[in-house]
Structure 1
Amino acid sequence: MTPGQPEEDHHVNSFRVALVAIIVAAVMGSVTPAYASQDVPQTAQAAPNLTGLHDFDFLVGEWHGHHRKLKERLANSHEWVEFEGTLSMRKLMDGWANVDDNVFNVPGGTYRGVGLRSYDPKTGQWAIWWLDGRNPFGELDPPVKGHFENGVGTFYANDTLRGKPVRVRFIWSQITPTSARWEQAYSPDAGKTWETNWIMEFKRVP
């Protein structure tokens, strides 16, 4: 206490100091510390995976296709139908996607189909959708997803056939500048066994 200061004034001042201290502590506790912009913690982002971005470059252009297609899928059928066709493929979105237009000259008529592919730089995988020209207003098939390894591209999806779940597999193989092979297989038992139901042998049009 300051000499000459009344005792009651001393108690009032002490109370005020204590009250101010409580208010300051409460305010400081509710304020988020400020950071300079360079000090703000940044969320680390993985570098894009571009290893497979050019995997389908081999398919750009015009192709002739010879097809062998199983007449009935997952029905213990051994009857194959053979026919000719064409494929025309071009890149989209500066190579991040591509599309091919297919013509199938099946016995009894001709129909078309479109394959659309898109690359995911997070996973390094391609997704492939199929649109059947015989049902252009229907839903797209579930996309098969996968990548190439040692020159072979393998892609998988879950789908249904006659109301039952099936596993779908596409394989691209035997790729050269002028030829390639594609095949489709179904599995009724989650990938334990496979039945190949469609094979395409491609030759580049000169």
Structure 2
Amino acid sequence: MTNTDFDFLTGSWDSRQRRLTKVLAGNDEWYEFDATLDCQVLLDGNGVFDVLRAPERDIEGLTLRLYSPDEKVWRIWWAAKSSGGQLDVPVVGRFEDGVGVFECDDIWEGTRIRVRYRWSDVNTPHPRWDQSFSTDGGQTWETNWEATFTRRTSA
């Protein structure tokens, strides 16, 4: 059985990234930077692997997404070169009506949080991704990282 949820992400992308300067601090100051993303869809669509690079911010990370057909959910792991060889706790979720929502419980700088990744506009030329944290079990969310993607054209 072929899964097509992340087919939109296959290939090479340029991205405009935006992150909060201080997370969970009531702060509304953002910084922006450019990044690239190179993505492969594997395992009949049930595996997705990508590499994000933002040299100006010394960011390099990879994402591994694996789909469980029995559970009908994705597990998404992130690892950055700064993470000391560790994968983050996977966010878990699915796409509904063209929007993918994936969540998990984790700890941010000693604080228990709920993490949410959200993919939207996936059927447009500029898919969007964002990350949010909640300290109250998902009642309220603070978006702290946003990205808009544009497919890179061959030279």
Q: Residue 134 of structure 1: SS of its match in structure 2?
A: helix
Alpha-carbon offset, residue 178 of structure 1? 2.5
Q: Quick check: 2:5–2:45 contact (8 Å CA) kept in 1?
A: no
Q: Quick check: 1:83–1:105 contact (8 Å CA) kept in 2?
A: no
- 1:51-97 Cα deviation digits (max 9, x unpaired): x9210011000000001100111011111010000000002223221
Task: Determine which structure has the larger strand proportion and give its number.
Answer: 2
Note if 1:80 corresponds to 2:30: yes
Higher relative contact order (Cα pairs below 8 Å, separated by 6+ residues)? 2
Aligned residue-pair number:
153
Q: Larger radius of gyration, structure 1 or 2?
A: 1
Note if 1:142 corresponds to 2:89: yes
Q: Distance in 2 between matches of 1:177 and 1:61?
A: 15
Q: Quick check: 2:3–2:44 contact (8 Å CA) kept in 1?
A: no
| 1:92-171 matches, cutoff 5 A | 92-106=42-56, 109-137=57-85, 139-171=86-118
Q: Which amino acid aligns with 1:58?
A: F
Task: Determine which structure has the larger helix proportion and give its number.
Answer: 1
Note if 1:63 corresponds to 2:13: yes
Q: Quick check: 2:98–2:120 contact (8 Å CA) kept in 1?
A: yes
Q: Distance in 1 between matches of 2:93 and 2:123?
A: 20
Q: Which amino acid aligns with 2:107?
A: T
Q: Which amino acid aligns with 2:45?
A: G
Q: Distance in 1 between matches of 2:84 and 2:52?
A: 14
The answer for the alignment partner of 1:184 in structure 2 is 131
Q: Distance in 2 between matches of 1:136 and 1:87?
A: 21
Identity, in percent, stands at 41
Q: Residue 143 of structure 2: SS of its match in structure 1?
A: strand
Q: Quick check: 2:6–2:41 contact (8 Å CA) kept in 1?
A: no
The answer for the alignment partner of 1:14 in structure 2 is none
TM-score by structure 2 length?
A: 0.93
Q: Residue 94 of structure 1: SS of its match in structure 2?
A: helix
Q: Distance in 2 between matches of 1:131 and 1:98?
A: 14
Q: Which amino acid aligns with 2:47?
A: A
Q: Distance in 2 between matches of 1:58 and 1:69?
A: 24
The answer for the alignment partner of 1:90 in structure 2 is 40
TM-score by structure 1 length?
A: 0.71
- 1:136-155 Cα deviation digits (max 9, x unpaired): 42x21100010001100000
- 1:111-157 Cα deviation digits (max 9, x unpaired): 210000000011111100000112242x2110001000110000001
